[in-house]
Structure 1
Amino acid sequence: MNLGSLNDFPSVTVDSGFPIIDFEQLEFPEKSLLGQGSFGSVRKAFHRNWRQDVAVKSLTFEIYGTSEQELLYSEARKLNLGSRSDYVIRLLGICLEPQVAIVMPYMENGCLSELLQDVDVPWALRWRMARQIALGMTFLHCQNPQIIHCDLKAENVLLDGDFHVKISDFGLSKWKMQSRIVTETSPMGGTPTHVPPEFFDTDGGPTDKTDVYSFSVLLWEIASRRKPYRDAEGRLNLSRPLSCYVTGGGRPDMSLVPRGVPGVDTVSQLMQACWSQCPDDRPSFQECVDQLRDVNSMFSDEDILEAIINVRRKMKAVVK
Structure 2
Amino acid sequence: MGNCLSGSDLSIDSNPSLFKRPSNSFSDQERSENSCRVSDGLKDAPIRSRLKVYSYAELRTATRNFKPDTILGKGGFGTVYKGYYWMDHQEKTDQSGSSRMIIIAIKKLNHDQTMQGLREWKCEVEFLGRLSHPNLVKLLGYCCQGNELLLVYEFMQRGSLENHLFRRNSVIVPLPWEIRVKIAIGAARGLAFLHSSNNQIIYRDFKASNILLDGDYNAKISDFGLAKFGPNEGDSHVTTRIMGTSGYAAPEYISTGHLYVKSDVYGFGVVLLEILTGLRVFDMERARGQQNLVDWARPYLKRRNKLRLILEDGLEVQCGMEVAFMAAKLVLQCLECEPQKRPSMEQVVLALEQLETFKEKRPKNVRIW
Shorter-chain TM-score above 0.5: yes
Q: What does 1:16-35 correspond to in 2, within 5 Å?
A: 16-17=48-49, 18-26=51-59, 27-28=62-63, 29-35=67-73
Q: Aligned-pair distance for 1:240? A: 10
Does the aligned pair in 1 maintain the 2:242–2:254 contact within 8 Å? no
Question: Would you say 1:46 and 2:84 are equivalent positions?
Answer: yes
Q: Classify 1:270/1:152 alpha carbon distance in 2 versus 1 (closer, same or farther; 3 Å).
A: same
Match of 1:45, as an amino acid? Answer: G
Does the aligned pair in 1 maintain the 2:158–2:213 contact within 8 Å? yes
Q: What does 1:215-294 correspond to in 2, within 5 Å?
A: 215-230=268-283, 235=285, 237-239=287-289, 254=301, 255-257=309-311, 259=316, 261-262=319-320, 263-294=323-354
Question: Would you say 1:208 and 2:261 are equivalent positions?
Answer: yes
Question: Would you say 1:37 and 2:75 are equivalent positions?
Answer: yes
Give the TM-score of the pair, scaled to structure 2. 0.69
Q: Aligned-pair distance for 1:169? A: 1.3
Q: Aligned-pair distance for 1:65? A: 4.6
Q: Classify 1:66/1:216 alpha carbon distance in 2 versus 1 (closer, same or farther; 3 Å).
A: closer
Q: What does 1:1-320 correspond to in 2, within 5 Å?
A: 9-10=36-37, 13-14=41-42, 15=45, 16-17=48-49, 18-26=51-59, 27-28=62-63, 29-49=67-87, 51-59=101-109, 63-82=112-131, 84-98=132-146, 99-117=148-166, 118=168, 119-178=173-232, 179=235, 181=238, 188-204=242-258, 206-230=259-283, 235=285, 237-239=287-289, 254=301, 255-257=309-311, 259=316, 261-262=319-320, 263-298=323-358
**Structure number with bigger Rg:** 2
1:54 is paired with a residue of what secondary structure? strand
Q: Aligned-pair distance for 1:76? A: 1.4
Does the aligned pair in 2 maintain the 1:154–1:218 contact within 8 Å? yes
Does the aligned pair in 2 maintain the 1:79–1:90 contact within 8 Å? yes
Pairwise CA RMSD: 2.9
1:63 is paired with a residue of what secondary structure? coil
Does the aligned pair in 2 maintain the 1:141–1:208 contact within 8 Å? yes
Q: Aligned-pair distance for 1:176? A: 1.8
CA distance in 2, matches of 1:7, 1:156: 27
Give the TM-score of the pair, scaled to structure 1. 0.79
CA distance in 2, matches of 1:196, 1:236: 23
Does the aligned pair in 2 maintain the 1:109–1:158 contact within 8 Å? yes
Does the aligned pair in 2 maintain the 1:174–1:181 contact within 8 Å? no
CA distance in 2, matches of 1:124, 1:10: 47
CA distance in 2, matches of 1:190, 1:236: 23
Q: Classify 1:7/1:274 alpha carbon distance in 2 versus 1 (closer, same or farther; 3 Å).
A: closer
Does the aligned pair in 2 maintain the 1:172–1:188 contact within 8 Å? no
Match of 2:37, as an amino acid? Answer: P
Q: Classify 1:215/1:67 alpha carbon distance in 2 versus 1 (closer, same or farther; 3 Å).
A: closer
Query: Residue deviations 1:199-258, cap 9 Å, x none?
Result: 332232x2211110010010011111111243xxx536555996xx97xx7655644125
Does the aligned pair in 1 maintain the 2:265–2:344 contact within 8 Å? yes
* Greater alpha carbon shift after TM alignment, 41-50 vs 98-107: 41-50
* Greater alpha carbon shift after TM alignment, 139-148 vs 258-267: 258-267
Does the aligned pair in 2 maintain the 1:229–1:237 contact within 8 Å? no
Task: Structure 2 unaligned segments of length 5 or more: list them.
Answer: 1-31, 88-99, 302-308, 360-368
Q: Classify 1:85/1:250 alpha carbon distance in 2 versus 1 (closer, same or farther; 3 Å).
A: same
CA distance in 2, matches of 1:24, 1:146: 37
Q: Classify 1:114/1:10 alpha carbon distance in 2 versus 1 (closer, same or farther; 3 Å).
A: closer
Give % identity: 28
Does the aligned pair in 1 maintain the 2:285–2:291 contact within 8 Å? no
Q: Aligned-pair distance for 1:34? A: 2.0
Paired positions, count: 284
1:150 is paired with a residue of what secondary structure? coil
Task: Structure 1 unaligned segments of length 5 or more: list them.
Answer: 300-313, 315-320
1:96 is paired with a residue of what secondary structure? strand
